[in-house]
Amino acid sequence: MEHEEPRGLLDRIGVLRHRCDLDLLVFFSRHPRVLLTSESLVRFLGDDDSEIARSLDVLLATGLLTRTQTPTHAARLYVFSSDGPHPDWLPSILHVASTAEGRRRLLAVLSERDDDESIGRRADFARRQAARPNARQVSTPRPDRTEENDA
């Protein structure tokens, strides 16, 4: 399993779908207990806040990450747990991601998937738009122009 190909590993895991998912997984594995604001995560990772929020939801849903917030502070405590429900694949993915070549290959697979999902979303949108009945154009009546208005 140590030499498992990135594509096969990601297929077996089925959790990591986007580059930001992998970035957050590696970040929190290196910083298993950290107090951060959302803005700090955006600065550290360089992704936009919507991508980070979506990827955080992925890690939270897997049980690999827990998040707590106190009402008196904007920062949240993130706790990474490597002994959660996915301990079998976690060491493998972190091992592959620990080398520059492994990380590059993982990101290439995730990038392909992002492209495929983006194409699929655009095709779904186009199908929905084509299936919609043509909406009647409603125009706002304009006042009649008279010679007095032109003066």
The pLDDT, as a whole number, for residue 2 is: 47
Compute the average pLDDT of residues 112-135: 56
CATH code, residues 14-118: 1.10.10.10
CA distance 78 to 89: 21
b/e sequence 11-41, b meaning 16+ C-beta within 10 Å? eebebbbbbbbbbbbbbbbeeeebebeeeeb
Q: What percent of the chain has pLDDT over 90?
A: 42
Band the pLDDT of 139: cuts 50, 70, 90.
very low
pLDDT in tens, 80-119: 987 766 668 888 899 999 999 999 999 999 988 765 554 4
Average pLDDT, the chain: 79
The residue ranking higher by pLDDT, 103 or 125, is 103
Edge-to-edge strand list for the sheet holding 76-80: 33-36, 76-80, 65-69
